Amino acid sequence: MHTINVSLVFATEQKQWIHEAQVASGTCAEELIESSNFRSKVEGLLALDLDLLDIGVFSQKVARNYLLQEGDRVELYRPLTADPKEVRRQLALLGRTIGNTSKGKA
C-alpha cells in the first residue's frame, strides 16, 4: 500500500492546530477528517457541525471527495463572524480600510 503525507489544519483567532498524517493513496479529504480524530483534539470543533464547514487545500476551496496528494494541507474553515463586505462598507464610512484602521490619512 502506497502512503502519502498530508496535514489537517484548523485555526481560531487565538490558536492554530495542525495534525500531520500518513494516509493511503486514494484517500479523500473527508476520509482524512473522519479518520484523524481531529475533532476531539481541537478546542471548539466539537460545537461545530463539520458537514457545514467548508474545506480547502492551500487556500483553495475543494469538495469533500477531493483526492489527497502528497504534501496537501487540508484546511477546515470556521464560520465567519462578520460579513467581509459589510466590514469594508463600515470602514469606508469612517474613511478607513482593512489595512489602515487608524483615523485620518497617513
Between CA 75 and CA 21 the distance in angstroms is 14
3-state SS, residue 20: strand
Give residue 106's pLDDT. Answer: 45
Higher pLDDT: 16 or 100? It is 16
Q: Identify residue 49 by its one-letter amino acid code.
A: D
Tell me the three cell numbers of residue 27: 484517500
With residue 57 as reference, give the H or E element that holds it. strand 54-57
Between CA 37 and CA 15 the distance in angstroms is 18
Going from N- to C-terminal start, the domains of the chain cover: 3-80
Topology given in CATH for the domain delimited by 3-80 = Ubiquitin-like (UB roll) (3.10.20)
Give residue 81's pLDDT. Answer: 62
Between CA 94 and CA 32 the distance in angstroms is 44
Give residue 100's pLDDT. Answer: 61
Tell me what the mean pLDDT of segment 3-30 comes to: 92
